[in-house]
Structure 1
Amino acid sequence: MSGSVVEVLIVDDQRPFRSVARAVVGLVGGWRVTAEAASGEDALAEAARVHPAVVLMDINLPGMSGIEATRLLLDAEPATTVVLMSTYAPDDLPAGAGDCGAVAYLRKEDLTPAALRALCASRGAS
């Protein structure tokens, strides 16, 4: 994806965190937020609409969990890079987080431009 804009979908049920995530993504050169969603169901609809390269997916969402939404999203958009996010310690992640297809888990407090670049570089989304 070198030379092109990396389009990002932010999925979180808390508007303040979506705003923070949008600001962090804005600090990553060549990346831009093209859509936001507040639920797993909305994430699937937005992903089908905008075909993002990267999805920042909260684990705890109303309705469908971020883990299930990740599975379904990657079935439809297998080239997408999904990063799960939450406040859990890595050892306390819910069942299914490790095998849903996400490339990594990032604690929300660790969301930085450098962390995003590092997590997504191996998938060609940087």
Structure 2
Amino acid sequence: MTPSSAVSVLVVDDQRPFRLAARAVVRRAPGFVLAGEAESGEAGVAAAETLRPDLVLMDVNLPGIDGVAAGSRIRDFDPSTVVVLVSTYGETDLPAMVAQSGMDYLHKADLAPGVLRDLWERRAPGSAAH
């Protein structure tokens, strides 16, 4: 991504209401654009291979392969992709595999344009925190 281009976002979640909510957040976030959506881990990996998004919002619990495995596969073929795992789990209830994945975590209720921007600025390739 160049500074003048929008951050492309792929949303991967099996629940349509969350995909709709995430789509609305991405559209309201200046500098972000929705690249696509997927409903399963496998479909998310395939979409990421095709679309090459900058950022992926990935549900932890998905049909087929879970979000942690799917996110790891995406980062295997494109390490610059920022994968953020999302769920309704509280931080203290997260499965150990999520905490150990090295991916960011965001509670679904906290997704907002400003939070999306903060996540990107903290984890984007070339950022000081990356």
Q: TM-score range by the shorter chain?
A: over 0.9
Q: Report the AA paired with residue 67 of structure 2.
A: G
C-alpha separation between the residues in 1 aligned to 2:20 and 2:33? Answer: 13
State whether residues 56 and 84 of structure 1, in contact with CA within 8 Å, keep that contact through their aligned partners in structure 2: yes
What is the deviation of 1:101?
Answer: 3.3
What is the deviation of 1:36?
Answer: 0.4
How many equivalent residue pairs? 125
C-alpha separation between the residues in 2 aligned to 1:122 and 1:2? Answer: 15
C-alpha separation between the residues in 2 aligned to 1:80 and 1:72? Answer: 11
Give runs of ≥4 in structure 1 deviating > 4 Å: none
C-alpha separation between the residues in 1 aligned to 2:89 and 2:72? Answer: 20
C-alpha separation between the residues in 1 aligned to 2:114 and 2:35? Answer: 20
C-alpha separation between the residues in 1 aligned to 2:53 and 2:78? Answer: 9
> So what's the TM-score if we normalise by structure 2?
0.91
Alignment deviations for residues 31-87 of structure 1 (CA, whole Å, 9 cap, x no partner): 111110000000000000000000000000011000111111100110000111000
C-alpha separation between the residues in 2 aligned to 1:51 and 1:100? Answer: 21
- 1:82 corresponds to 2:83: yes
> So what's the TM-score if we normalise by structure 1?
0.94
Secondary structure at the aligned position of 1:96 is classed as helix
- Percent identity between the two aligned chains: 49
- 1:124 corresponds to 2:124: yes
C-alpha separation between the residues in 1 aligned to 2:58 and 2:35? Answer: 14
Q: Report the AA paired with residue 67 of structure 1.
A: V
C-alpha separation between the residues in 1 aligned to 2:124 and 2:61? Answer: 27
Aligned pairs (5 A) from 1:62-81: 62-81=63-82
What is the deviation of 1:124?
Answer: 2.9
**Cα RMSD (Å) of the superposition?**
1.4
More contact order relative to length (CA 8 Å, sep ≥ 6)? 1
State whether residues 10 and 55 of structure 1, in contact with CA within 8 Å, keep that contact through their aligned partners in structure 2: yes
